[in-house]
Each structure stands twice: as C-alpha cells, then as structure tokens.
Amino acid sequence: METRKVQVTGGSTYTVSLPKSWATANDVSAGSTVEFYPEDDALLLTPQTDTHRQRGTLDVSNLEGERLTRAVMTMYVSGFDIITLEAGRITTDQRRAIRSATQGLVGVEVLEETTDSVVIQDLLDSSELSIVNAVTRMRLIAQSMLSDALEALLENDDDIARDVIERDDDVDRLWLVVSRIFRATLRSPRASEELGVSREDCFDFHSSARQLERVADHAVKISTLALKLDAIPAETAEALSALHQDAFDVLEKSMDALFAEEGDEATELGHEALESVLEIDQHTREIDDRLRELDSVQAQSLGLIVDSLSRCADYGGNIAETALQKAAPRP
C-alpha cells in the first residue's frame, strides 16, 4: 500500500499524485485520461480503456467433446465478445462441440468458419444485460420446474417429466449470463456503474443464482426418477406433496427477501425462511420412516426424491442467509 497527501491547487482543486510504478504498469502517462467511480466512501480510479468488444483466441488443437464445449463457455463467462477458436484443422467433431456450446449460451452465434478456425460472437450488448432480470427469470423457471417435477411424479405423467428435463438448459444458460455479468463487475467498476447495481449486490445475486441452478438440477433428478417409477401409495404421495410445498415456500420467502427493497422486510422474510428449513428437517425424517414400509426398490427412489426436496429447501435457506447479509447495515 502507498499513501499520498492531498494538495490544493488554484485555491479550490484537490490533487493527488499517482504512484509511478502503477502508472507505468497501466500505460498511464502525461495526457492520459483516467476514470473515477465513487462507491460509498471509496473512490475507484482506473485507466480509461478501449470500450470496443473484447476479442479472445483459443488454441483448440487438443480439445474435443465436452472439454471443448466447456472451454468455449469459459471464454464466454470470462467476458470475451468475439472468440476465435484455432487449430491446424477443425474436425467435424470439434465443429459439433462448438455448435453445442453456442446453443448453450444466450445471444452467441457462429460468425465465421474456415478449415482451421471458427469465430463465434456474442450479439448481445453487455450494457443491456440485467443481472436482476436474469436471476428473476431463473427463479421463475427453477420453481416451476420443481413444481412440475412433483406433478410428473404424483400424476405419473412422463411428458411433464421430459419437459422439466429439457427446461434445465434454460436455467443453465441464464446461470452463465449471471456469471459473465458478475465477473465483468469484478474486472471493471464501469460494468457495475452501467448495471446500476453495486458489486456487493452483484455478488449476492450471483451466489443466489448458483442455488437456483442447483434447485433446477434436483428438479431434473426428481423427473428422471419419476420416469422410472409407477404409481406410488396415496399416503406417500400426500406426504411428498406437503414436503414440496414446504420447500417451495422456503424458496419463495428467501427470493422475496433477496429482492425486497426495505431492509426490515428482507430481514423478516429471511428469518422466516430459515426457521422453516428447521421444520422441514423434521418433516423429512418422518417421511423417511414411512418409506421403510415400502418395497425396497421403490423406497430407495422415493428416498432420493425426499432428499432432493430437502436439499432444495436448504438451498432456499442459503439464499435467505444471503438476503440477510444484503439487508444488513453496511460498515
């Protein structure tokens, strides 16, 4: 850490010198323009950078299949707008993996293809993306997936179960959007200013989005098990329905707390959600006891479903804790 004394020039202008080592490392010299971003009682300074779209290049010679798909998604989340994938020769399997990756990303399309490269581009204006809207959309989809997964199980409806499994892709795409926005705010205070959301709040939304992504994964797990199960006993179905409603209520209260504009409201909802999680733990143990009376194969599958519903409630509790931290007074 370095310190500088503030001086007054011209009788009314405050000035402070920049550390030479920092200025040299960031190509700041006489005549350069720097940007200031006020953040509560702090003032962030950065060199003025080129606002053109960020380009990145990746050698994919040794990548294929899922590894290549993940590499493309990583470049996207890292903030590159135009990504060039190069190799001595792009194989058919590699092109297939690249197309799979672009289909899993919001607003990304293949811009150019040659024998030795593929260029993909994010067509969305990053400044127009909203982390609040993305998380809100994730909330709606994840909660509806969980409800539909239970309906598929209780009604023995395979069509609904398959639909839930397909919708997981929508949640995954939104999760990558949230991650991309969050990482952008870490790199540059300009991104946070354009969003109109503080970096602390972006962190809270990002961590909550991760919980919603996990809820969607468990909805898929429940739907997958529902496809294998036949009709279940009425008493067990009623107990599972009640457990789902309890878990859903925790998620609802925790997300309402996260988005609440008033600190008192957020705090009250957050505490209510966390207290409900404790009640669900007891409810879960009671259902597990009932399952011991069923056929072992059926009991095992239903036990996994009970565990998924309980975990969804726990994820809601995690969001509630985040909401409480978000509503707490700032130092």
Predicted confidence (pLDDT) per residue in 274-305, tens digit: 999 988 888 888 888 888 888 888 889 999 99
pLDDT band at 92 (very low <50, low <70, confident <90, very high): very high
| Tally of domains in the chain | 3
The H-or-E segment that residue 121 falls in is: strand 117-122
Output 300-306 pairs: Cβ under 8 A, ≥24 positions apart: 301/225, 301/228, 301/229, 302/229, 302/232, 302/236, 302/240, 304/221, 304/225, 305/153, 305/222, 305/225, 305/240, 306/240, 306/243
Q: Which amino acid is at 38?
A: P
pLDDT beyond 60 at 51: no
Beta-carbon contacts of 261 under 8 Å, excluding residues fewer than 6 positions away, are: none
In a domain, 190, yes or no: yes
In a domain, 272, yes or no: yes
Q: Are residues 118 and 134 in the same domain?
A: no
Q: Are residues 188 and 108 in the same domain?
A: no
In a domain, 307, yes or no: yes
Give the other-Cβ count within 10 Å of 235's Cβ: 10
In a domain, 2, yes or no: no
Give the domain CATH number at 80: 3.30.110.20
Q: Are residues 79 and 205 in the same domain?
A: no
3-class DSSP assignment, residue 171? helix
pTM of the model as a whole: 0.86
Predicted confidence (pLDDT) per residue in 234-244, tens digit: 888 999 999 99
